[in-house]
Every structure is written in C-alpha cells, then in structure tokens.
Structure 1
Amino acid sequence: MKDVGEIKTTHLFDMVVDLHPRQDMGEGPRGRRVHFGSAGGTFEGPRLRGDVLPGGGDWAVFRPDGVMVLDVRLTLRTHDGQLLYMTYGGRWVTPPHLRADLAEPAKRHQVDPESYYFHTNPLFETGAHQYTWLNDIVCVGTGYVVEGGVAYKVSAIV
C-alpha cells in the first residue's frame, strides 16, 4: 500500500442556513422522509461570501436507528452576483438521550455540538468563470444547530 499522507484541508467558508418548519412525509421504505426547506442564510470565507437563496433544502431520511441521512441541495449567490449549486450528503448521528431536545425547536440550538456527530461532503457546480475552481474540489463540513436553522464549517480537501 502506498503512503499518500494524511488528508489535509483548508477553510472554505462558514455557512448558516435558515430553515422553514419541517415537512414530515411519513415512513417510507427507507425510513421517515422529512423536508427541511431553506428560507435563506449567509456564507463567508477567505475566497467567497454571499447568501444562501430560499428554495433549496434537505430531503432527509431518518433511519429506524435514529440516524439522519442528509440529501441537501442549495443555491448560493456570491457577493458579486454569481450563482453556485451546492449539494451534499452526510450523516447526523444523535445519541438517543438527546433526540427529544434536538426535536424541540426551542431547545435544539442549546445542545452541545460536541455531543453528536454531524458531518457532510459538499460538492459544487457553477459556470461562473471566477468560481470554476469549485467544480473540481471535494469538501467536508461539520454541522451544528443554531436558532432557526443549521450552520456549517466547510473545508476544502487540498
């Protein structure tokens, strides 16, 4: 086996996504399907910043074991008016004793993010010339709950 070294990352941006109330589609063949619609938000980092546009969201599945499987699609608009398509999957693993608090909108942002596993794998698509470098990178993100939505620290794998 070749030694290719450790995975290295660099900070891409921090993002807050404001969410509409969840839409529960009920139990399906893979688990309970829930839609968390994006109501907007912001992102900011060393090389790009802007707004999360309304209309995207997370078409999540809660598996029978309580793990949430993410399926997120968002449109970002940069500070200079360019559009970026951002997608990511991921896993949000919550210990059983925290599930009731995380399901409660008034309490969920008070739960310590160190007490759950919430990670994503963002990818981007754009035709905006100054941002085409995003088309060729793989990212990792760490999520946590904030009042009214979720937030992420997103890093590019270098």
Structure 2
Amino acid sequence: QIIFDPHTPNGNPNNNDLCNRRIRASANGRSVDLTVVDRCVICGANDLDLSQSAFEALGYHVDQATTALAAEPAPPALTYLYSVNLTFAEPISIGAVPYGTRDLLTISGGNVVGPKITGKIGTGLDWGLTDRQGIFSPDALYSLHTNDNATILVFEKGHAPHVHILFETASPKYAWLNNIVAYATGGPNDVGIGLDVWQVCLTFFFFFF
C-alpha cells in the first residue's frame, strides 16, 4: 500500500498507473520479476501479496496447511538519519498514577544534525511515564524545523533507552518520512536528552522496469 496508493488518482485503484507494470522483488539473496495486478485490501501497509510460485522463488516454503520460512529471514537494515539533542523547561509533576509516576515535560528546543535532516527543534510535549522499576517510557510530540524551511512533526513512544518514531510532514522534499518507521536510542546528556535516529528499512526491495 505504501508504494501502490500514491499512484492511485482520485482514490480509484482501478486507475492506478502501476497496474500491469513489472517490478522486481528481492529477499534472502534471491529476486523474482512480477506483474502488478491489483491492491491487496487485507494486506499490511508494507506487505506484498505474492503467488505461491513467486513466494517460493524468494526462498520461502508454502504448503496447504502452514506457511514456514525455508531459511531464517534477513534482519531489517538501519539507515542513519540524524542525531538530536532535546532541551526541556521545568517539568510539571502529575504525580503517582496507577502505573507509575507521570510528568509533563515541555520540549523547549534543541538541534538536529545528520546526513538526511539538519535543523532545529521547535516546541512540544512529552507526557511520559516512569514505572515502578524506574524505567521511563517517553510519549512525545514536537516539531522539527529543517534548515531548508520544512516543518516535520515527530511522534515518539518507547521504553527507554529504545524509542519508536513516526513522522508527519506536508513538505514534498521530506514526504518519504510519512511512510517510514524510525528507531532511536540515547539518554540524558549535558543539555537534556540526546538521541541517534535510524530508519528501519524493509527486507523487500522493489525495482520498476
């Protein structure tokens, strides 16, 4: 759906310009050439609905009762996006809640430097929870303003030191961020919180021809 839907004019998949196009799917060190037929309405956003023969050509095994992997699947790859330092105003303590202690943290600024994105952090909020074991789980929303004048919303959730990130932007240049998942890890530093952010890349790769 991530690849198919942007090529659907006026929401009508019957007019999608990828239909009948040839693509190449790769996994497990193998490739198979396919023809795009239609939109899989029950698939996940990152899924491909393949014929059994195409699935087996990519190194997987299918029988009538079960679907089993012929080999251990390749782990997802990571592409480094940027590093960010977040600064905070004085926290507002909400206090003890059923699952721990919650504080309202106002994100007051910060900077972003990396090969994919460089800029400044605007404002935002983190209403994360510290559980009874002392582990902080962020739940944040803030704005990122790039050096080339794009504005990106950043959504963070996780279980420190591991953070799951989604993005939202209207910028054509950074529209690719709307369709990815990012992983970040980090922790407190001299100015606030520092995170290194990586794009989680799909196992399948597609080539149009």
The TM-score bracket by the shorter chain reads 0.7 to 0.9
- Equivalent residue for 1:69? 137
What's the Cα RMSD here?
1.2
Paired AA for residue 126 in structure 1: T
Question: Do structure 1's residue 31 and structure 2's residue 105 form an aligned pair?
Answer: no
Question: Do structure 1's residue 144 and structure 2's residue 193 form an aligned pair?
Answer: no
Q: What aligned pairs does 1:8-157 form with structure 2 within 5 A after superposition?
A: 8-54=77-123, 56-92=124-160, 118-157=161-200
Say if 2:85 and 2:191, in contact at 8 Å, map to a contact too.
no
Structure 1, unpaired ranges of 5+: 93-117
Question: Do structure 1's residue 4 and structure 2's residue 47 form an aligned pair?
Answer: no
- Cα separation, 1, equivalents of 2:133 and 2:116: 39
More helix by share: 1
- Cα separation, 1, equivalents of 2:111 and 2:136: 23
SS at 1:53's partner residue? strand
Ranked by relative contact order (alpha carbons within 8 Å, sequence separation 6 or more), the top structure is 1
Deviation beyond 6 Å, 4+ runs, structure 1: none
Give me the TM-score of the superposition, normalised by structure 1.
0.79
Shift of 1:70: 1.1
- Cα separation, 2, equivalents of 1:53 and 1:151: 15
Shift of 1:148: 2.7
- Of the structure 1 ranges 20-29 and 125-134, higher mean CA displacement relative to structure 2 is found in 20-29
Aligned residue pairs, count: 132
Paired AA for residue 119 in structure 1: H
Rg larger in structure? 2
Structure 2, unpaired ranges of 5+: 1-67, 202-209
Give me the TM-score of the superposition, normalised by structure 2.
0.61
1:32-72 alpha-carbon deviations (Å, 9 max, x no partner): 11122111001111122111002x02111111222211101
- Equivalent residue for 2:13? none
- Cα separation, 2, equivalents of 1:43 and 1:132: 18
- Cα separation, 1, equivalents of 2:106 and 2:177: 24
Paired AA for residue 86 in structure 1: V
